Chain A
Amino acid sequence: MTRPTGEDESRPAAIADLFAAHQDAAVRFAYVLTGSSAVADDVAQDAFAQVVRRWNDLRDPKAYLFRAIVSGARSWGRRRGRTYALDAPLPLAVDSDAVAVRQVLAEVPLPQREALVLRYFAGLTDPEVAAAMGVPLGTAKSHLRRGIAAMRKVLQ
């Protein structure tokens, strides 16, 4: 997504479009990242707020949105001393793969979780993952490699 440029009157509509198009994905992304619906609500809200605040400065609001969610989830984890909530019940429809994946997400270091969720839930490319995490591409790939290795152990 590329934001319109030089058209102030189009901005509110564009923000609304962004919100409508990505609100569900954003909160679910935050949920997978944190494991908590309540935290996901707050993190996603803050992320949208940041997008709106910085709208004029953003070339790619969608990318910034996910970046802000990652940052917000980090901040939540830092404040709480934990980065993942395993207290929420899983839906009945979840299968064994999802249970195993959730357990790994809860156990791997935060950067690896971020990379995995950005890659496999948000569907970002490696460079996009790196941008969303605010790290060099090589670092993001390193996180991905380690995270996937952890996943492979439980999914084999």
Chain B
Amino acid sequence: MNDEIGNDGRLDERLRAAMHKLASGYQPASERGDATEPIRGRSRRSPWWTSVAAATVLVVGAGIGVVLTRAQHNSESDVAAEPSSVPTSPPAWTDRLTIPDIDEPTVAVRIDEELLDEPLMLQNPYVRWGDSIPTLGSLWYVRFDGGVPVSSIAITDHPAWTWDIYEQIRSNAAPDGSEVAAADGEGFDTWQNPDGTVRVVHTVGEVSAQLDEILADPRATIDDLRAAGPPDGYVALVEPVIVSSMAQTTSSELGWLAVLYEPAADQLDRYLATWPLSGDVTEIPGGWLSGSAEDGWRAAVAIDGYTVRIFTPDDVPASTMQTIRDHVELVPVSEVPWASPFEHSAVDPAPTPVLAGGELSIGRWVAFDTTDLDGRPGDVLCQRFVGALRGLDGCVDDDATAWTRCGWVAGPYDEDTGRYVLLTTETFAEHDDLAARVDGDDADVTIEQSGGFTVVYATVVADPLDHPDVTIVDSTGNELCP
């Protein structure tokens, strides 16, 4: 769609020309002498193309895929994750505990980019129910064939998605202006609801007649689609589900939280650096368990008031759905002898994945270490909010949308509340009068300190796309930096 964004041909041409002239300012290392600015604490090194070329040669010579010169990268954080003994059974104390049943299927789904008809470039190939997937929407249903996902249905009513679909609707409007079903030829089908809202459905692969029938009703809403459940052959990605990386999910019924690592996913190597994946399942102060499996899922977690899950399978293949239930023991934390995780503000010994957890007005939360990401120990990698704001959780990694300001870690913008959450491992006991400003103006904020963390909830009036500048200040107006 060529809208007003690209209609100013003269401006477009000036921009193109100007940027290419700017690009001529690039100076190769050989021409700029000692001006090289190290990143991540790296020392100066040879011109980058020599490394890449060498790596390419290495690939050519070895005939294998990925053995880049990672030693050049952040070597201080590349802590080897060496699985040792594989825990094959839950710790002994679980014998004394009641293990609840799960009525809902628990699945983890890996969506391969190859499966889909467009490059998704997923940050995390594992998706869960309702996950937002770039260029696809929110995934709701998946169809499997022999354990391999072969078709998926994504549904979204997010305004950002409907933005350009409106254009298609206008051009494809029915004569009476009522129901419109537009397809853009890329798997998107669009319906205009009676109230004027637009529903967009993206399907990959076939869609059963059952779903077609539901979708054909212009009065149907996305809630209707969800309530109707998956069409024949599809599996609804119901919660709770497990995803790789810093995964977290909750169930309002069972109320459990889980973290899972899948070592085969190459993108997770950075996390392996900070996750203490070694040895048998062990207790970590803070109420967490950690362990490793030699070839499969890793990790076990606990959270106060919730339940403990221990993953010990050894045959979980990547790219397939797995029913975790057979491999999981569920334990009410209330019955776990050591379960008082939120009394701990820090975790030792290091390295540890968990910095702290606590009770806040939004619910329970936990935070993870991100030592390897920026070289500064004690930052927060993931923050998880469980309870009232279940949707407000996220990880701060190299690809996350969260941003930082002055050492604060900010969580995702919550569209429902209009709030950002800023988090730091520091406390400001001497500053009980903390305030926040957004783009220089006083902001509506709530500041809580718990478990060695300071959490600031800043209601941001500005368009979040502008990445408003949020600062934390003391009573004198001085910015506080952790």
Contact = CB atoms under 8 A, between A and B. Distances in A.
A111 B69 CA distance: 30
A96 to B, nearest CB: 9
Contacts of B399: 71, 74-75, 134
A41 to B, nearest CB: 4
Nearest to B409: A78
Contact of B32 (A38, A45, A75, A117): A38
Contact of B135 (A32, A120, A131): A131
Nearest to B402: A78
B130 to A, nearest CB: 15
B39 A88 contact: no
B99 interface: no
A71 B123 CA distance: 11
A42 B59 contact: no
Interface in A141-156: 141-146, 148, 151-152, 155
Nearest to B162: A138
A8 B63 contact: yes
Contact of B163 (A121, A138, A146): A138
Interface in B149-176: 158-164
Chain B CB within 10 Å, residue with most, of A59, A76, A94, A123:
A59
Contacts of B39: 39, 42, 76, 79
A107 interface: no
Interface string B110-137: 0011100011010100000000001100
B362 interface: no
A75 B398 contact: yes
Interface string B10-24: 011011111111111
Given A109-B465, A131-B121, A141-B164, A32 B14 contact: no
Nearest to A55: B65
Interface string B23-35: 1111111001001
A131 to B, nearest CB: 6
A32 B23 contact: yes
Interface residues of A, number: 87
Interface stretch (B45-53, B219-227, B234-242, B287-295): B45-53
Interface in A90-134: 90-91, 93-95, 97-98, 100-102, 105, 109-111, 116-117, 120-121, 123, 126-127, 130-131, 134
Summarize A's interface: helix, strand, loop or mixed: helix
Contact of A46 (B3, B73, B158): B73
Contact of A134 (B29, B66, B123, B465): B123
Contact of B465 (A46, A53, A54, A146): A146
Q: Give the bracket for the number of chain B residues in contact with chain A.
A: 35 or more
B431 interface: no
Given A32-B19, A60-B119, A155-B14, A137 B135 contact: yes
Nearest to B405: A81
B63 A12 contact: yes
Contacts of B461: none
Contacts of A144: 5
Interface of B: 1, 3-6, 8, 11-12, 14-29, 32, 35-37, 39-40, 42, 47-49, 51-53, 55-56, 59-60, 63, 65-66, 68-70, 73, 112-114, 118-119, 121, 123, 134-135, 158-164, 266, 374-375, 398-399, 403-406, 465-467
14 contacts: A19-B49, A19-B53, A39-B39, A45-B52, A52-B59, A71-B398, A90-B25, A98-B19, A100-B18, A109-B465, A120-B19, A131-B118, A136-B158, A155-B15
Interface of A: 8-9, 11-13, 15-16, 19, 23, 27-29, 31-32, 36-42, 44-46, 48-49, 52-60, 63-64, 67, 71-72, 74-76, 78-79, 81, 88-91, 93-95, 97-98, 100-102, 105, 109-111, 116-117, 120-121, 123, 126-127, 130-131, 134-139, 141-146, 148, 151-152, 155
Given A12-B63, A98-B19, 20 more contacts: A11-B59, A12-B56, A19-B49, A28-B23, A31-B22, A38-B29, A39-B37, A49-B69, A52-B52, A55-B66, A59-B119, A74-B398, A79-B39, A81-B405, A93-B21, A93-B24, A94-B21, A102-B18, A131-B119, A138-B162
